[in-house]
Amino acid sequence: MAKIKPKTIPLFILAIVTIIFWVLIWSNVLVQEPGGWWSNCPNCWGDWSAHLTYISSFAYGHNWPLQLPIFSGHKFTYPFLIDLLSAGLVKLGLDLPTSLVWPGLIFSIILTYLVYLLGKTLTNNHKVGVFTAILFLFNAGWGADSRWLNLITSQIIPQRGQLLGLSLSIIVYLLLWRKKILAAGIIAGLLPLAHAHSYLVTMIIGAWYGWRFLLPALALGLPQIGFVYGWGSRNFIHWDSGWLKEWWRLGPMLPLLLWGLISAPAKLKKFSLAFWLVFVLGNYLRFQPYDWDNTKLFLHWYLIASIGAALVLVRWKLVGLIILLISIFPGVNQVSKIFQPATKYQFFNQTQLTVAEKVREVIEPQAVVLTAGNHNHWLPALTGRQIIMGYPGWLWTYGIDYLPRQADVAKMYQGNDQLLAQYRVDYTVIGPDEKNMWPDLNQAYFNANFPLIFDESGYKVFKLK
């Protein structure tokens, strides 16, 4: 029987601790209780309604050809690969919450290992790999108003595509380090459907390695971009230096990151320079309407910069360990809130869950439905049916001009035959969300002109066609 090497015992213990940590995290993200679905993750409450909508559109809404479920008739301009995976799990018999949580748990463990592996490989030091994973996963700025939010609570959990994007990107970086340029380009070419920002960063990094990288990355990636995002005239790139005033909030990490670059071995320093270029670009250019989304680029810089910083901390031994613990304090504080009952948010109550299950039986999968546009509306998230317009905040980040349609939705709820026909509305929902958004909506118009096909617990569905 093979003996376990003494050096591997601490790593084995860390692996067990890592798995337990992620199990505890994901067990608090979306919890099914008798009163409905709840989450201890505030960013998940904001983002996961969109992911539930996209999963449901594939699993229940027969979303083909692809349309954006929250803006009927529009291209599905969002990297949907991980949501398509979850939809497949629903088709195999899992419920919606489990279809989100299980892939998240598995890919979180994989990502943690890949971060460790990258740090270890680039320095040939397993301690640096461990320190890199800790610095990276527990990042955060100092101060309650810092915009440099913890990776786990702001992206890994709520923005599901980041799990695939970062994992594939790290594989690309490992291949580039090992001079397997063609293979790195092929992996990078798989990114657009998984995570668009990761594709952009890997293209910037890979450009330093020439056409052996760019040719496969472009040949595989550009068709996906055309398929999902199209080749329209939208230009998201603008000058914006707002992030420059944020970095002092890194506290002790800022000089540590800089010293890590300066003192790094020549090969690591040369490899890191392209990532520092990404950092510079992100500080002067905004790549989406929402400037905070530049964090999705900065994370790649921070990952590589953390390796240099971790190398410094390992060299400093006990002092380095103390600085490590101080540096991750803001991140640990943000992650700890997931375990605090005070941060509990309700996704949907039991009435909405019951109504959604019944409405799925009476509304055709590809029907177009008029609803309110609150981010946590039950109908698109739980039935996958196309709605005229969903949450404006999401549409804005996608670069969609939603204001004309927003005005039209309000008019339709006042009873506008022409607009209802123009938008090809099949069904209209009138429930608490709609009455809250438009207290003066004209329910009498719908009562007088269309059959009421569902009426339960304050939720009404009218059939218009």
Q: Which domain holds residue 271?
A: 8-33+101-339
pLDDT per position as a tens digit, 192-242: 999 999 999 999 999 999 999 999 999 999 999 998 887 765 667 899 999
Q: Same structural domain for residues 147 and 270?
A: yes
Do 72 and 129 sit in the same domain of this protein?
A: no
Please name the residue ranges forming H helices in 161-252.
161-177, 181-188, 196-206, 211-228
Instruction: Report if residue 71 sits inside a domain.
Output: yes
How far is the CA of 170 from the CAs of 87, 115, 173, 396, in angstroms?
A: 26, 7, 5, 30
Cα distance between residue 317 and residue 187, in whole Å: 37
**Quick one: 166 and 183 in the same domain?**
yes
Element (H, E) at 309: helix 295-315
The residue among 311, 339, 367 that closes a domain is 339
Please give the Cα distance from 15 to 124 (Å, whole number): 19
Task: State whether 303 and 417 are in the same domain.
Answer: no
Q: Are 72 and 400 in contact (CB under 8 A)?
A: no
Picking from 135, 195, 199, 200, the residue whose alpha carbon sits closest to that of residue 159 is 195
User: Is residue 285 helix, strand or coil?
Assistant: strand
For residue 85, is it within any domain?
A: no
pLDDT, one tens digit per residue, over 376-419 is: 999 999 999 999 999 999 999 998 999 999 999 999 999 999 99
Indicate if 308 and 428 belong to the same structural domain: no
**Strand-pair partners of 462:** 428, 452
Residues 335 and 350 occupy one common structural domain: no
Q: How confident is the model at residue 1 (pLDDT cuts 50, 70, 90)?
A: very low
Query: What is the rounded CA–CA span in Å between residue 191 and residue 161?
Result: 10
Is residue 59 helix, strand or coil?
A: helix
Domain count, the chain: 2
Is residue 335 located within the same domain as residue 351?
A: no
Does residue 1 lie in a domain region?
no
> At 463, which helix (H) or strand (E)?
strand 459-463
3-state secondary structure 344-383: CEEEEEHHHHHHHHHHHHHCCCCCEEECCCCCCCHHHHHH
What the block records as the tokens of 245 is 């005033």
Residue 247 and residue 304 in one domain: yes
In a domain, 91, yes or no: no
Query: What is the residue whose two structure tokens read 């009421």?
Result: 452
Sign of the alpha-carbon dihedral angle for 194, 196, 197, 198: positive
Residue 454 inside a domain? The answer is yes
Residue type, position 184, single letter = A
Q: Do both 459 and 403 map to the same domain?
A: yes
Rounded average pLDDT over 89-118 = 97
Q: Is 40 within the bounds of a domain?
A: no
Give yes or no: residues 219 and 289 share one domain: yes
Of the pLDDT bands very low, low, confident and very high (cuts 50, 70, 90), residue 6 is low
**331/365 same-domain check:** no
| Domain end point (choices 339, 372, 404) | 339
Contact status, residue 290 vs residue 396, Cβ threshold 8 Å = yes
116 occurs within a structural domain: yes
Query: Both 293 and 234 in a single domain?
Result: yes
Of the candidates 287, 312, 339, which is a domain's last residue?
339
Domain assignment of residue 86, yes or no: no
Looking at residue 177, what is its pLDDT? 98
